[in-house]
Amino acid sequence: MKLPISWLNDFVDIKNITIDELKTKLFDIGFEVEAIIDVGREISNVVVGQIEKIEKHQNSDHLQICILNCGHFGQQIQIVTGAQNVFVGAKVPVALNGATLSNGVKIKNGKLRGVDSNGMLCSGTELGIDENFFDGAGVDGILILPQSTEIGLDIKSVIGLNDFIFDLSITANRPDCQSILGIAREVASAFNLKLKEPETDYMLLLQQKPAKFSNNLTVNINANAKEKCLRYISTVLQNVKIEKSPIWLRQRLLLCDIIPKNNVVDLTNYILLELGQPMHAFDYSQIENKTIQVRVANHQEQIVTLDNKNQSLINSDLVICDGIKPIALAGIMGGANSEILDSTQTVVFETATFTREGIRKTSRRLGLSSNSSLRYEKGVDVYTTGLASKRALFLAQKLQIGEITDFYYDSFECLENNQLLKQKQIEVPITKINQLLGIEIPKKDIIDILNRLNFKIEEQNDKLIATVPLYRNDISIYQDLAEEIIRMYGYSNIKSTLMEKCSITQGGLSNYQKLRNSVKNILVAQGMYEIKTFSFYSEKQLDNFKIDVNAKERKVIKILNPINEDLTIMRRLLAPSMVDIISKNLKRGVDNSRLFELANIYIPKTIPLQDFPEERPILCLSAFGDNENFYTLKGCVEAVLERLNLQAEYQSFEQNSLPLFLHPYQSAKILVNEQEVGYIGTIAYDVLEKYDIEKPVYIAEIDYDLIIEKFNNNFQVVPVSKFHNIERDLSFVVPENLISGEIEKIIKQSAKYLSKVILFDVYKGEQVEKGKKSLTYHLTFTPKFEEELTHEEVDKQIQKILKNLKEKLQITIRE
């Protein structure tokens, strides 16, 4: 919110407070000053001068030599100007030697066609202002100042540039502070200064009975609108002269980024800024049947708003109608049909409390917002509505915009709806406030702070009864009071304690959480980098991965309001995110690495989603580049399983279950205890092509919880024998297409004492016949506890192995 300091000064005398003090105090009580704007920061050394004499320049047709009286800055300053609108006696802005102007222009003494020119006469543009900001600033030529202007004054004080603006951030609970008055109240409380309430007594100003108008307008609020319109006030101004607003008012609007329009519209905007109450002005002559009605819109009812757009309404929108048709979209924008025009003679002011929810809904639906709707969305209170309607009349009278009439419709009076104007009371023992804060704030300080904040305080023994100001809808429980007290008393008074009065709790990570850290660390030890990718992607990623339209990975949760077409579905497969990251790394020249991600997939029970879906953590591992191969990644998978004391089996996919994004001959299902827990494989080349990847990529996904469930950390040690192990090597020549897993399985099934089988050599070549390969296994036999294992026993076991291999696979030992 923009806060011109000069305007703030209307309500609280801050002349003795520096900008920095003000900023710090506002910050301490909850209002962050995001920026301080020095309005005239670009302008320096420009003063008011009067032209004493004008001579023609000898060497130029258009240049004139002016002699200026700038008071104590010099009474005979010679300046050459090209402007034609200067005249003897004119008061003008004079940029002296060393002056700076708008856009960083610097002025130095010099010569113009041989004649000394000790400065420059300035136009409005050169001072960074326009006709809206100051009369005469828009003319083509020098800014001619009013004759009453004092010679030698700093131009900034003359044209309204000697001001500061605070850009404040206001938290959502303080709509009452979205105005100059609101901040003034806070400043007054914080510095313990007196607040000058805005003047509203227009009757006093008027000093006579207002003009009669009463029977010329009827206002009513339809029952169906009462929920969205809490208060509605109409007033009427007649014999209005539509013209420009005075400079000071225009300047205040401009400092707050509102462009002046005419005195009536400017007045409503002025009230909006000053009190935080949006207002609207109708041209009475356009109101048919002399009736104003507030009601919900009919389905598909049409209105052309002030921006000349046709809006089609629904019955949750609120409209202001005359006897026939809608004339405004309540709280958002007036209708073009009742706009204030230069010809307007009678104005009907609307000051109303519309609920923020109602305004937001309509504003969002239509994509239509205004200063008014933005303000309503923050929240307007019924008290301010009453205050603002009177303040508007006061200013209208003061500015002589028109003639105040006796017409004053207030829905509160008609509806006797005044419980909204009844002040809330909060009862609280002082001890409760201090218990919540943890420090002892003396009672008198508490009462003093609340009084300064406009709470009325009654003491009852140790209890306080606080009556809440009407504009503070955010206060309803004692905790709210505690916050008011501590922010004024100072958060720096809060000490640090460590839950001294709390019970001891055990805390700590669960076994599941500890194990997860351990698993991640195992992967890091395998040279893997952990990545984090978004939980959502698009169907296109699934297309790239050739996921079948009927596959489960397509049964995904859709985001109803995605930000863009790339983030539309909650993923059920991590691989596309992984491959995307690999592609980006390769493009940046990282051509070998290992990555992993442990993240959830989201499995809907129904589509469209009705119930909470299942969120399952999946471990996705990958390796890419020429230094990697299927087995290096398999090693990473095994490292995790080893950590969990699990053994996996790898089974090729059946023809119809092979995921199409995998290499058909370098891919497998991973099984643990005969349950499928994931897959591993080389990414298919046509998939890689979609990601512009030319290096091989290996990937595995494991259902993390499935393997964790199988981990048993509640084990008892198996005693070991003091006798030594016996090791044997066995070589076989087998058909090339026979997979090692088959042989290993039979070896393991056949022998006792066998603790380890490791394939350590695979040979294809001259030494074995074509179509065959040689496999060599290293077998370790381990004796049982307190037993010795003999070579004879091991020989017996080897014989069993060889027998079974011959019977089941028709393979024999290599001689």
Partner 1 sequence: METKINLLKEKLNQELKNINDSKSLYSLQSSYLGKTGEISLMMRELGKVDKEERPKLGQIINQLKEWAISKFFNASQTIKLNELLSRYKNEEIDVTLPAKSQKYGSLHPITLVTNELLDIFTGLGFYVYEGPEIENDYYCFTALNLPKDHPARDMQDTFYLSEDLLLRVQTSAGQIRAMEQNKPPLKVVVPGRVYRIDDLDSTHSPMFHQMEGLVIDKHVTLCDLKGVLEILAKKMFGEESKTRLRPSFFPFTEPSVEVDVTCCGCGGKGCKICKNTGWIEVLGAGMVHPNVIKNAGLDPEIYSGFAFGVGLERIAILKYGIKDLKWLYENDVRFLSQFKI
Question: At closest approach, how far in Å is the CB of 559 from partner 1?
Answer: 5
**Interface with partner 1 in residues 746-785 (CB under 8 A):** none
Kindly indicate which of the ranges 57-65, 126-134, 171-179, 704-712 contains the residues binding partner 1, using the contact rule CB under 8 A.
171-179
Backbone angles phi, psi at 314, to 5 degrees: -125, 175
Query: Which listed residue (285, 435, 518, 673) binds partner 1 by CB under 8 A?
Result: 435
Question: What is the DSSP secondary structure assignment for residue 470, as one 8-state letter?
Answer: T
Question: At closest approach, how far in Å is the CB of 551 from partner 1?
Answer: 21
Backbone angles phi, psi at 628, to 5 degrees: -110, 160
Kindly indicate which of the ranges 56-64, 579-587, 670-678, 806-814 contains the residues binding partner 1, using the contact rule CB under 8 A.
579-587
Q: Is 356 in the site for partner 1 (CB under 8 A)?
A: yes
Name which of 447 and 586 has its Cβ closer to partner 1: 586
Is the omega angle on the peptide bond into residue 608 within 30 degrees of 0, that is, cis? yes
Question: At closest approach, how far in Å is the CB of 324 from partner 1?
Answer: 32
Element (H, E) at 710: helix 704-710
**Interface with partner 1 in residues 531-570 (CB under 8 A):** 531-536, 557-564, 567, 570
Question: At closest approach, how far in Å is the CB of 705 from partner 1?
Answer: 13
Question: At closest approach, how far in Å is the CB of 624 from partner 1?
Answer: 10
Name which of 154 and 638 has its Cβ closer to partner 1: 638
d(CA 597, CA 594): 11
d(CA 140, CA 124): 9
d(CA 36, CA 3): 9
Residue 116 structure tokens: 């000394």
Question: At closest approach, how far in Å is the CB of 119 from partner 1?
Answer: 36
- Sort 162 into a burial class: Cβ within 10 Å, 0-12 / 13-18 / 19+: middle
Q: Is 429 in the site for partner 1 (CB under 8 A)?
A: no
**Interface with partner 1 in residues 102-131 (CB under 8 A):** none
Name which of 439 and 759 has its Cβ closer to partner 1: 439
d(CA 751, CA 581): 47
Name which of 101 and 693 has its Cβ closer to partner 1: 693
The label of the residue with tokens 């909060």 reads: 426
Q: Is 224 in the site for partner 1 (CB under 8 A)?
A: no
Beta bridge partners of residue 220, listed in sequence order: 293
Question: At closest approach, how far in Å is the CB of 93 from partner 1?
Answer: 34
Name which of 62 and 588 has its Cβ closer to partner 1: 588
Q: What is the 3-state secondary structure (H, E, C) of 560-620?
A: CCCCCCCCCEECCCCHHHHHHHHHHHHHCCCCCEEEEEEEEEEECCCCCCCCCCEEEEEEE
Query: Which listed residue (94, 393, 528, 801) binds partner 1 by CB under 8 A?
Result: 528
Question: What is the DSSP secondary structure assignment for residue 223, as one 8-state letter?
Answer: G
Name which of 622 and 667 has its Cβ closer to partner 1: 622
d(CA 374, CA 585): 45
Q: What is the 3-state secondary structure (H, E, C) of 104-172?
A: HCECCCEEECCEEECCEECCCHHHCCCCCCCCCCCCCCCCCECCCCCCCCEHHHHHCCCCEEEEEECCC
One-letter amino acid for residue 2 of the chain: K
Do the Cβ atoms of 303 and 349 come closer than 8 Å?
A: no
**Interface with partner 1 in residues 591-650 (CB under 8 A):** 593-595, 600, 602, 608-610, 612-613, 615
d(CA 105, CA 381): 47
Name which of 103 and 496 has its Cβ closer to partner 1: 496
The interface mask with partner 1, positions 277-316, x = CB under 8 A, is: ----------------------------------------
Residue 314 region, left (φ>0) first, then alpha (ψ -120 to 50), else beta?
A: beta
d(CA 28, CA 702): 52
Residue 38 structure tokens: 């020095």
- Sort 399 into a burial class: Cβ within 10 Å, 0-12 / 13-18 / 19+: middle
Name which of 88 and 477 has its Cβ closer to partner 1: 477
**Interface with partner 1 in residues 469-508 (CB under 8 A):** 477, 479-480, 482-483, 486-487, 491-492, 494-508
Question: At closest approach, how far in Å is the CB of 363 from partner 1?
Answer: 11
Query: Which listed residue (204, 304, 590, 739) binds partner 1 by CB under 8 A?
Result: 590
Query: Which listed residue (176, 266, 377, 703) binds partner 1 by CB under 8 A?
Result: 377
Q: Give the residue among 264, 272, 270, 466 at the shortest CA–CA distance from 352.
A: 272
Question: At closest approach, how far in Å is the CB of 483 from partner 1?
Answer: 3
Number of Cβ within 10 Å of residue 509's Cβ equals: 10
Name which of 583 and 682 has its Cβ closer to partner 1: 583
Q: Give the residue among 381, 375, 600 at the shortest CA–CA distance from 475.
A: 381
Name which of 340 and 531 has its Cβ closer to partner 1: 531
Name which of 520 and 663 has its Cβ closer to partner 1: 520
Q: How far is CA 255 from CA 5, 37, 270, 388, in A?
A: 10, 10, 11, 21
Name which of 173 and 417 has its Cβ closer to partner 1: 173
Q: Is 173 in the site for partner 1 (CB under 8 A)?
A: yes
d(CA 144, CA 251): 18
Q: Is 223 in the site for partner 1 (CB under 8 A)?
A: no
Q: Is 367 in the site for partner 1 (CB under 8 A)?
A: no
Q: Is 439 in the site for partner 1 (CB under 8 A)?
A: yes
Name which of 560 and 717 has its Cβ closer to partner 1: 560
Kindly indicate which of the ranges 52-60, 449-457, 523-531, 674-682 contains the residues binding partner 1, using the contact rule CB under 8 A.
523-531
Kindly indicate which of the ranges 248-256, 525-533, 542-550, 735-743 contains the residues binding partner 1, using the contact rule CB under 8 A.
525-533
Residue 51 structure tokens: 């032209």
**Interface with partner 1 in residues 23-82 (CB under 8 A):** 27-30
Residues in the interface with partner 1 (CB under 8 A) total: 89
Name which of 88 and 509 has its Cβ closer to partner 1: 509
Most distant CA pair in the chain: distance in Å? Answer: 131
Long-range interactions of 737-740: CB distance < 8 A, separation 24+? 738/809, 738/811, 740/775
Residue 554 structure tokens: 């397509």
* Dihedral over Cα of 309, 315, 317, 323: its sign: positive
Q: Is 19 in the site for partner 1 (CB under 8 A)?
A: no
Question: At closest approach, how far in Å is the CB of 683 from partner 1?
Answer: 17
Beta bridge partners of residue 232, listed in sequence order: 352
Query: Which listed residue (295, 360, 390, 391) binds partner 1 by CB under 8 A?
Result: 360
d(CA 122, CA 142): 5
Q: How far is CA 616 from CA 401, 698, 769, in A?
A: 69, 22, 50
Query: Which listed residue (355, 372, 385, 667) binds partner 1 by CB under 8 A?
Result: 355
Q: Is 513 in the site for partner 1 (CB under 8 A)?
A: yes
Name which of 441 and 648 has its Cβ closer to partner 1: 441
Beta bridge partners of residue 456, listed in sequence order: 467
Name which of 158 and 437 has its Cβ closer to partner 1: 437
Name which of 458 and 530 has its Cβ closer to partner 1: 530
Residue 234 structure tokens: 């109409």
Residue 505 structure tokens: 């709790």
